[in-house]
Amino acid sequence: MSLYAIGDTHLSLGADKPMDIFGGGWAGYVEKLREGFSQIGPEDTVVLCGDLSWGMSLEQAREDFAFLDALPGGRKILLKGNHDYWWTTGAKMERFFAENGFSTLEILHNNCRLYGEVALCGTRGWFYEEERGEHSTKIFNRELLRLEASLKAAGEREKFCFLHYPPLYQGYRCQEILDLLERYRVSRCYYGHLHGGSHRLAFSGRLGTVEYHLVAADYIGFQPKKILD
């Protein structure tokens, strides 16, 4: 049994927005994902760090969920990205998954999920410093509350945090999120969102007591990154 993470699958099986049009590493990315997941065993867990489907609704994203559900792995834990327009309430998403027989998909939203003795926490996050304004401030404050709710739900367990937006990269630090991770003694943080030339801006390594790692699909070769046995 192992724990993996990957972000930014950007599936478009039920919508007309395939990432292949960008060429480069994205060419044939659906098959690359299928191959990348071939290392996953039936007892393994994969956390998917947002930007999962281009579908504009749960119904439009159905084929993408079916693809993810059919991939190897007993559990796939989903969190929201900035392009996941299908995202709605936890209850509606879980009901949709149940009605469609998607038995391996779980939502990480205002809660935590457990992997043995480790708590898997997280939320989307936000680029507050880059998008200031009243609307952005409200979204940012809501994301802070969601992250803290998730961390509180973990209690005294060891905590891994999963975000879509990076909490820091070259030239940017979201101090409020960094402070929460330190305060709740998070040991590792995994994030996505950065693509192409932005990979060079990523921060990977330790800052304070937290290790940070970029797991965007095109950065890790569309192969989920093993983070714990």
SS3 119: strand
DSSP string, 33-63: HHHHGGG--TT-EEEEES--B--SSTTTTHH
pTM above 0.85, yes or no: yes
The CATH number assigned to the domain with range 3-228 reads 3.60.21.10
Phi, psi of 107, deg, nearest 5 = -105, 135
User: Could you read off the pLDDT tens digit of each residue along the chain, which spans 229 residues?
Assistant: 999 999 999 999 977 776 665 666 889 999 999 999 999 999 999 999 999 999 999 999 999 999 999 999 999 999 999 999 999 999 999 999 999 999 999 999 999 999 999 999 999 998 754 555 666 788 899 999 999 999 999 999 999 999 999 999 998 899 999 999 999 999 999 999 999 899 999 999 999 999 999 999 999 999 999 999 9
* 6 CB-near residues (< 8 Å, 6+ apart): 36, 46, 47, 48, 49, 192, 215, 217, 220, 222, 223, 224, 225
Q: What are 12-56's pLDDT values in tens digits?
A: 997 777 666 566 688 999 999 999 999 999 999 999 999 999 999
Domain ranges of the chain: 3-228
